[in-house]
Amino acid sequence: MSFFHANQREALNQSLAELTGQINVSFEFFPPRTAEMEQTLWQSITRLSSLQPKFVSVTYGANSGERDRTHSIIKDINNRTGLEAAPHLTCIDASEAELRDIATDYWQSGIRHIVALRGDLPASGGKPEMYAADLVALLKSVADFDISVAAYPEVHPEAKSAQADLINLKRKIDAGANRAITQFFFDVESYLRFRDRCVAANIEVEIVPGILPVSNFKQLQRFASMTNVRVPHWMNNMFDGLDDDAETRKMVGANIAMDMVKILSREGVKDFHFYTLNRAEMSYAICHTLGVRPVRVAE
């Protein structure tokens, strides 16, 4: 089952064949909470590192323990793999002095790329003292970091309007951000329309699409409801009846992501950021179809 006609698929496959070697990929991970999860994480990092990603990022939790794990994992990735490791950094529940100390420590540890985010508001609510644009400016005042920020093709849940959300993205770029990575999406047209609006707003950095390979559709629906992401009706149809069939769900999810990537490649997109959920299999398979091949080490 697919949402493309045969002639469209043939055209996409031909375009894909012409793109071999011209695609950049990056991967996102999250800090593990158990020894077993840590083993899975490192297995995934090891496998995906062979694809020579442009960078790998690690998310940053709301509590100090998870934040400490992010710092540790980032430094381990940098030291053990040689990959460009990009920690997420948020400005919620942190003073400017604390953020400067963290940024200085990263720079001195050889970390040159940071994903700068406002972060989730605490349950108590209230207006934050800093926003992502302020964090970008702070990081640039510490050192010449390569900075990625977030973008929302289907509009941030807290934004007053799509235009207000776009203005906020421009503030982050004007403060010194080097690229924007989007929230995951499944409506390719929403990304393409958003990219056009960015161009019209004189946002000239790369808008990197965030790709989420879906293996657990019910979990995805929860994620989507919290993040203002539309799940198209055809996805409900494709996953219907697969609640107890994990392997088929993976194949369906990989097929959806592959088709999205093929269309975006045809539209000139060269960079893709994969939300791996700390699993390598689906992202690796999708990258393989893109012509991204592992580096073979001569014996």
Residues designated catalytic: 28
Distance CA 176, CA 116 (A): 11
DSSP state letters, the chain: --SS-HHHHHHHHHHHHTTTT--EEEEEE---SSHHHHHHHHHHHHHHHTT--SEEEE---SSHHHHHHHHHHHHHHHHHH---EEEEEE-TT--HHHHHHHHHHHHHTT--EEEEE--PPPTT----S--HHHHHHHHHHHS--EEEEEE-TT--TT-S-HHHHHHHHHHHHHTT--EEEEEE-S-HHHHHHHHHHHHHTT--SEEEEEE---S-HHHHHHHHHHHT----HHHHHHHTT-TT-HHHHHHHHHHHHHHHHHHHHHTT--EEEEE-TT--HHHHHHHHHTT--PPPPP-
- Pairwise CA distance, residues 229 & 223, whole Å: 8
Is residue 105 within 8 Å of 70, Cβ to Cβ? Answer: no
* Angle at 242 (CA atoms; ends 255, 288), nearest 5 degrees: 20
Q: How far is CA 231 from CA 106, 147, 148, 226, 236, in A?
A: 37, 29, 26, 12, 8
Dist CA 262 CA 50 (whole Å): 22
